């Protein structure tokens, strides 16, 4: 009797006449995704490829992998069973705001905080370039792009690379809470799960000094997602004028904790020294 190592038990090699890699997973079968995933998991950070550019490269790969007809059918069925989602689609509300539009809001308000962040950090609004949504998925993605920066503020995620984990993990928990079909919820969470891998794996491999910050950001995002209302379907524009605490209360955002992750995010991006707190530890 062959002594099979414990970890190798149950492994059944599958023969195939194929001369190329073939799998039951469409994700593993995709050479572009395999290359992209290896790159974003294993590389160090550098100015030649900023993290936002990684997602710009990823989005068309994901789009090509998707069964768009199936996603639309799942949306349609979900709307029959999910009145809140159906009402959200029926309203079909989208925004066309620009950074200058937020100058009117008081400091400390939801809109005022965004204005200070955008102008102080020389950011651009992460609003999806306007095009008339032709499908339910396109509408979902359009609104996700329009609300992402506000989700940073509402969930307590700073505008830096460690802070990005907070709204990612808010979505990864909150969407599954309010979308009944887990297969549809998974399709709506692909950007977040692949995007968050960049921060978790690269932190462990190359920037372990800020691993506690990374874990804390993930936990904070999960707590907000698990405790809060369906923020991703909310009409945030109605609350721009409210102070942050009041906006959170009005929108049903619960468990948000604001933490300063600027120094840790800069260190992760190789743009700054190790945070003083980490040096002391």
Written in H, E and C, the secondary structure of 2-51 is: CCCCHHHCCCCCCCCCCCCCCCCCCCCCCHHHHHHHHHHHHCCCCCCCCH
Label residues 228-259 b or e (16+ Cβ within 10 Å = b).
bebbbbbebbebbebebeebbeebebebbeeb
pLDDT averaged over every residue in the chain: 93
Q: Cβ(124)–Cβ(131) under 8 Å?
A: no
Tens of pLDDT, residue by residue over 150-159, are 999 999 999 9
Q: Cβ(37)–Cβ(31) under 8 Å?
A: no
Determine the pLDDT at residue 125.
67
CA separation for the pair 201, 188 (Å, rounded) = 22
* Average pLDDT of the segment spanning 176-198: 98
Neighbours of 219 (CB within 10 A): 14
Q: Between vectors from CA 158 to CA 156 and to CA 159, what angle results, nearest 5°? A: 140
CA separation for the pair 272, 262 (Å, rounded) = 10
Determine the pLDDT at residue 279.
66
Residue 127 has pLDDT above 60, yes or no: no
Q: Which of 3-12, 39-48, 176-185 has the lowest mean pLDDT?
A: 3-12
Instruction: Characterise 218 by phi-psi region: left (phi > 0), alpha (psi -120 to 50), beta (else).
Output: alpha
DSSP annotation of 127 reads P
* Average pLDDT of the segment spanning 155-165: 96
Residue 1 has pLDDT above 90, yes or no: no
Residue 268 has pLDDT above 80, yes or no: yes
Tens of pLDDT, residue by residue over 20-49, are 788 899 999 999 999 999 999 999 999 999
CA separation for the pair 50, 269 (Å, rounded) = 8
Percent of the chain whose predicted confidence (pLDDT) is above 90 = 81
More confident residue, 10 or 61: 61
Determine the pLDDT at residue 187.
98
Residue in this structure with the two tokens 């468990």, named with its chain if needed: 255
Residue 280 has pLDDT above 60, yes or no: no
Instruction: Characterise 42 by phi-psi region: left (phi > 0), alpha (psi -120 to 50), beta (else).
Output: alpha
Task: State the pTM of this model.
Answer: 0.92
* Average pLDDT of the segment spanning 75-101: 95
Tens of pLDDT, residue by residue over 237-251, are 999 999 999 999 999
């Amino acid at each position: 009797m062959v002594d099979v190592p414990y970890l190798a038990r149950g492994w059944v090699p599958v023969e195939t006449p194929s001369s190329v890699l073939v799998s039951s997973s469409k994700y593993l079968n995709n050479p572009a995704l395999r290359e992209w995933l290896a790159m974003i998991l294993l590389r160090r950070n550098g100015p030649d490829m900023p993290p936002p550019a990684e997602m710009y490269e990823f989005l068309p790969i994901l789009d090509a992998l998707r069964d768009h007809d199936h996603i639309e059918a799942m949306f349609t069925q979900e709307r029959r069973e999910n009145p809140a989602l159906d009402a959200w689609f029926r309203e079909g509300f989208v925004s066309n705001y620009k950074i200058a539009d937020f100058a009117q809001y008081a400091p400390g308000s939801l809109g005022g905080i965004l204005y200070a962040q955008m102008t102080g950090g020389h950011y651009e609004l992460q609003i999806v370039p306007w095009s008339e949504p032709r499908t339910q998925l396109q509408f979902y993605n359009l609104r996700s792009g329009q609300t992402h920066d506000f989700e940073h503020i509402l969930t307590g995620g700073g505008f830096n690379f460690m802070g990005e984990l907070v709204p990612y993990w808010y979505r990864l928990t909150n969407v599954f809470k309010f979308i009944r079909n887990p297969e549809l919820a998974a399709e709506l969470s692909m950007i977040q799960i692949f995007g968050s891998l960049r921060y978790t794996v690269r932190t462990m491999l190359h920037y372990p000094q800020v691993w506690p910050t990374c874990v804390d950001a993930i936990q904070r995002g999960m707590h907000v997602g698990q405790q809060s209302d369906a923020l991703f379907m909310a009409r945030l524009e109605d609350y721009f004028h409210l102070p942050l605490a009041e906006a959170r209360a009005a929108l049903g955002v619960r468990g948000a904790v604001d933490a300063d992750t600027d120094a840790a995010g800069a260190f992760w991006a190789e743009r700054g020294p190790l945070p003083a707190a980490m040096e002391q530890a």
